[in-house]
Amino acid sequence: MKRINTFEVRPRSESDEALLQDVMDATASFWNELNYARRQRFFDDENIWETNEFRGQYKGQLGAAGVQTVTRKNNAAWKSFFALLESGEDASPPGYWGNQEDGRDLRLFVRNDSYEIEWGDYSRVEIPVGQDLKEKYGLGYYERLRLEVRGDPKWSGEQGRLEIQYDEVEGTYRAYQPVSVDDSELDSPLASEEAALDLGANNLVACTTTTGERYLYDGEELFEQFRSTTEEIARLSSKLPPERDTSQRIRRLYRKRSRRRTHAQKALIRDLVERLHDEGIATVYIGDLTGVIEIQPSPEINEKLENFWAFKQFVDQLRSVCEEYGIEVAEKTEAWTSQTCPECGEQAETVRHRETLTCPCGFEGHADLTAAETFLRRITEQQVRPMARPVRFQWDNHEWRSTTDAPEIGTNPNEQRTNP
């Protein structure tokens, strides 16, 4: 069974970081050129797999194994695209990793037999680089780039392909190492509980679990940042001459806006999944997002749904992190859950105003948390324990935490208790 170790890597010197950045930049360049050639062949109804002309020019930066690994990664992306087309789904060909002018998604892939990790007091990972970069940075013929490792492996087993990504917002390098784990090593504390997520516009995620826990991740501060950047983009766009439709500064703002949102979403997912794992959650249910992204009567909500939210990216990342912890993600219909009274089952006469759901029977509760609870009770076959007071999280540009100065006794200082 596959699991993923996640840890931070750090260059030991400025020279090592420059070398790492060069390897990542070459990886992005190779991906973009290979992908461009395949996209052109695809749109011209030609065979996309006959694209070997770029491999030689990147061997000096990535090495033969590095070129092969990126090629295989791109092959997998195209095979996934073709599989979606065959199933009748609407899909787009694999995209690019940005450009040098506006910035790139910097990452690299290292074949499973081409790197070594040593764990201990001075953990480190050694990765190969091409001969041209070895000569540029003064490495010997048999030397490899050595990086410090911060963190401990959660899983042990046969190692898979290593991936290292650069987080531009935090200025850090994160490594992801798949390993093949024996079933006897799986350690979910309960491994039988379930959770349901309600994804929304104002609160990014409302979560309820069969253990009775409830979590609410507030997206208002994050959206205000997003909208402020959007307004600045509009202001700069209005000053452009008629013959231009963008500028370097505008493109950078678009990228900054996207990266901030993605960074916050990734942090949210990891924070949530770690909590769910500690509770023994084996399955997380998410709803069909069709109803979430329908046109809404509020222009502000439409802006959040159409521009701010990145639902597919969020769900893909959720699946990836849940896989690390052995948690299954399942999609189920959540029709009417946001309008159903949990007390009497009424749907037509309930009223939602901002974050509150009310019913003629006298029920009044938090709309998103109520929807998540209704969703969970509808799909689970096991008993749902009485719900605890919900915990609210807010984003501070680095992590999801509370702005409350004095949390309740016995609570984590990163948690803020909401009203029942």
Task: Specify which of 149-153, 237-241, 364-368 reaches the highest per-range mean pLDDT.
Answer: 237-241
Query: What's the total number of domains in the chain?
Result: 2
pLDDT at res. 409: 30
Q: Residues of the chain with pLDDT > 70: what percent?
A: 86
Q: What is the pTM of this model?
A: 0.69
Which of residues 267 and 52 earns the better pLDDT score? Answer: 267
pLDDT at res. 184: 63
Q: Average model confidence (pLDDT) for the chain?
A: 83
pLDDT at res. 304: 62
- Looking at 44-169, list the stretches that DSSP marks H as alpha helix, in order from N- to C-terminal side: 55-86, 131-137
Beta-carbon neighbour count of residue 300 at 10 Å?
12
Question: Regarding beta strands 351-353 and 328-332, do their DSSP bridges make them parallel or antiparallel, or are they unpaired?
Answer: unpaired
Residues 272-307: tens digit of each pLDDT: 998 998 888 999 999 865 544 554 555 555 566 666
368 Cα distance to chain centroid = 22
Residue 265 confidence (pLDDT) above 70 = yes
Average the pLDDT over each of 16-30, 228-242, 276-290, 387-401 and give the range with the smallest value. 276-290
Domain CATH number, residue 220? 3.30.420.140
Same domain for 226 and 298: yes
Residue 176 confidence (pLDDT) above 70 = yes
Residues of the domain holding 176: 2-185
Same domain for 218 and 160: no
Boundary (domain end) residue, out of 131, 157, 185: 185
Residue 194 confidence (pLDDT) above 90 = yes
Same domain for 247 and 228: yes
Same domain for 199 and 177: no
**Are the CB atoms for 199 and 329 separated by under 8 Å?**
no
pLDDT at res. 4: 82
Same domain for 279 and 150: no
Residues 309-364: tens digit of each pLDDT: 777 788 888 988 888 788 889 888 777 777 788 888 778 788 877 778 888 888 88
Question: What pairs with residue 167 in β-bridges?
Answer: 172
Same domain for 238 and 129: no
The C-alpha atoms of residue 360 and residue 342 are separated, in whole angstroms, by 12
Residues 108-128: tens digit of each pLDDT: 999 999 999 999 888 999 999
The C-alpha atoms of residue 253 and residue 232 are separated, in whole angstroms, by 8
Residue 187 confidence (pLDDT) above 70 = no
Same domain for 234 and 108: no
Same domain for 163 and 14: yes
Same domain for 143 and 261: no
| Average pLDDT over every residue of 229-255 | 89
